[in-house]
Amino acid sequence: MELMDMCHFIGGQLLVALPSLVGWTAALIVAVLLKSHGGGKPVTLLIVGSALMLGGTLLRLPVAGLPPVLMNRGWSAQDAAGAMSVFGLGVQLVQLAGTVCLVYAFWQQFHVGEALRRESS
């Protein structure tokens, strides 16, 4: 794959990821503003979760371009797909950690556990 083809490929991936990048950047900015006004532990978890989700989205871009680069360097398609799977798994683990932080922040902020206990009694 030539350099221009690679730029078009990565540009297309960036275009697909742009809404997520904008959304997680906005969430991170809002969380930092909330923290500067005295937010507690849920806001800290919101910052961490938003940063992890933004990082996972950014990491997804080079991972998508990995197989063509590896195949140009003489790797077989199966080996390149295997490498992409390993890196893709790492990106998914980063995003899973972000999701866990966001869910726990929501759980703490809105006292979901207490509300469920009150409802069951």
* Rounded distance between C-alpha atoms, residue 101 and residue 52, angstroms: 9
pTM recorded for the entire structure: 0.81
70's enclosing H/E stretch is helix 66-72
Q: What tens digit of pLDDT does each residue of 8-29 get?
A: 777 777 888 899 999 999 999 9
Q: What tens digit of pLDDT does each residue of 48-103 get?
A: 999 999 999 998 888 878 887 888 889 898 998 888 889 999 999 999 999 999 99
Packing angle of the helix pair 77-109, 112-120 (nearest 10 deg): 60
* Rounded distance between C-alpha atoms, residue 63 and residue 31, angstroms: 28
